[in-house]
Amino acid sequence: ARDISESHNLLKALRQSEIELQQERRLLEQRVIERTNELARASAHLEQTQFAMDGAGIAVHWVDAENGRLVLANHHAARMLGYSDEELLALSVADIDPNFPPGSFREATEGYRRQKVARFDTVNRHRNGLLIPVTVTLYFVPANSKDHARFICFIVDISARKKAELAMQQATQAAEEAPQAKSAFLANMSHEIRTPMNAIIGISHLIRRDLSTPYQIKQIDKVTGAAHHLLGIINDILDFSKIEAGK
């Protein structure tokens, strides 16, 4: 009777253990399903975010904050620099941005760690060697129990903006130089014409003193009068150039 009782108790304990094990298994399966769903939702959200960033022309880099290696990037980031997705993820920040020298990434980004958020202009090197001007918006994410510290960077190609700024600078410079050149030309022209006109007036005055007939004097007076009139016009031109020069 004792053996039967012990066997019965042992069997009951085994059944109870099996029930508890099944419960633990179902609970574990439920947790796996929930975690899988969470990852699926996170993955779908990430894909949607990447799709939006691709459509908006924004490159996204996830960068290891310790060594500068790229751990994640969207499709636009690879296309912008002429790489495939896999090729881009084999690179580091130092490979694509000459302003970040290799071997000292942590030291070079220490300020960004303290700032948490930063925005700056720099350049990215295309696969063909061409330097592309870009604006970077950077977020520092500290390390946690699952991931290393990282930078999340949003990068926009500003080549068109830089070209527009250069064109504006050139247009502004040309607009500023044009009146100055015109004023200088008018002043030089007025000076070069006024000098011989003064000589004509002076010589006409000397000739008039030696003339004896009224007809000759009348004629020379016409020359002198015309010379004075022309000199007045020349002086007006010179005054106009001074006005444009702000004098």
Mean pLDDT of 181-205: 79
* Band of residue 193 on the pLDDT scale cut at 50, 70, 90: confident
Q: What is the pLDDT of residue 127?
A: 94
- 37 vs 202: which has the higher pLDDT: 202
Q: What is the pLDDT of residue 145?
A: 78
**Most confident segment among 7-21, 43-57, 84-98, 150-164:** 84-98
CA–CA gap between residue 56 and residue 110 (Å, rounded): 30
Sign of the four-CA dihedral 141, 56, 92, 131:
negative
Q: What global pTM score does this model have? A: 0.53
- 39 vs 29: which has the higher pLDDT: 29
> What are 42-82's pLDDT values in tens digits?
555 555 555 555 555 788 889 999 899 999 888 889 999 99
For 108-129, the DSSP string reads HTHHHHHHSEEEEEEEEE-TTS
Q: What is the pLDDT of residue 183?
A: 72
CA distances 120 to 99, 129, 133, 136, Å, are: 12, 21, 11, 5
| The token pair that represents 124 in the structure block | 């990215």
